[in-house]
Amino acid sequence: MRKTQFILKKLGHTVLHLLFWCGVLFFYSYLFAIGSSDFNDVLAFSLFLMPITIATTYVSIYKLIPEYFMTKQYFRFILYSIYTLIISSYLVMVSIFFSLIHLSGFEYSEMNPGTKNIFFVLSSVYLVVFIVSAFKLLKLNLKQSKRTSELETKILEAQLKLKEQELNYLKMQIHPHFLFNTLNTMYGFALKKADDTPEMILKLSNLLDYLLYQVDKPLVPLTDEINHIKDYISLEQMRFNDTLDVNFVNEDCSENIEVAPMLFLPFVENSFKHGKIVDGKLSIDISFKCKNNSIHFSIKNSHSKSSSTKSGIGLENIKKRLELLYKNLYDLDIIENVNLFEVQLKLSLTNV
């Protein structure tokens, strides 16, 4: 099947070339017939000129342009073009002598008017060569542009896949210590047959559903993220008992606002992991303020300077996600004092 298609393609290509050169022969016959009464002499001269035109044209479109001009070997292109010009001009001179000797019997006055002027004949030949070469150059440029476009598309697709893979990896970087701690707490509650055990299981189930399934969505309502943060805090409150003091503020954040899933939850998880109990309390202040399609998120936790939270892997992963998802649309400040660790994130959703 492919061989048949190849043969048909080549056959069609050959037919098109034959039709074109028949058109050029007709053009020569009409052009050189001006002022002449002997059509046979005009046709003979045109036929003699055809191989010169064909050879010069094919050298240009199959050798000079693709091998030297398109590859930016301009010196060789100019040099070999000059060689081609000299040889073709010599052959055109031969065609004029053919007209003088064979067709006019050495009688200059009997020569076809169109064949007397060498510049007119050369212009006719190089007009054909120029038109065909320009068409070939345009075709090669279009082909090159298409290849470049396809290559750019492949590069963009590869970059997109890498970006998606990196995002998927970063999404899964929430520390598993929370899950283990919660399961241990639930185990203790179950042993005591505590009334809070079913509620704890339900909250953990909802949170795991969010972490495992909703995280694949490109965007989720901000209210969903906030509700799961609240579930997370509730689970941690059951574990910390009276040693946890959480203050949560949510101002004007509606369901119409959408963000990438798990964008804020890792900050909260990081506060519980690295926060320190000071004076018998782990203090955490969380605030969401939404205004004019922007979000101002802040979280503070009691802290010991020696814990080196700022260099933690979790925060680095969060920074990478923000850079991938909200490049030039966020402002992240991390402040570390002796007894306080604070994160301020301003996020603009205008261009998202």
DSSP 255-269: TT-EE-TTSSHHHHH
What pLDDT shows up at residue 79? 94
Can you tell me the distance from the alpha carbon of 74 to that of 83, in angstroms, rounded to the nearest whole number?
14
The DSSP H or E segment spanning 90 is helix 74-98
Overall size of the chain counted in residues: 352
Burial class (CB in 10 A: 0-12, 13-18, 19+), 194: middle
Helix (H, G, I), strand (E, B) or coil at 204: helix
Cα distances from 278 to residues 171, 237, 283, 297, 302, in angstroms, run: 31, 16, 8, 24, 7
Helix (H, G, I), strand (E, B) or coil at 156: helix
Residue 212, both tokens: 């495992």
Q: What is the CA radius of gyration of the chain?
A: 40
**What are the structural domains, with CATH classification, of the chain?**
2-167 (no CATH), 197-348 (3.30.565.10)
What pLDDT shows up at residue 309? 46
The residue type at 53: T
What pLDDT shows up at residue 310? 45
What pLDDT shows up at residue 325? 83
CB atoms near residue 295 (< 10 Å): 20
What pLDDT shows up at residue 277? 84
Beta-bridge mates of residue 288: 250, 297
What pLDDT shows up at residue 160? 65
DSSP-derived letter for residue 214 is G
Which parts of the chain have pLDDT scores under 70? 1, 35-38, 99-114, 159-182, 192, 194, 211-216, 305-314, 350-352
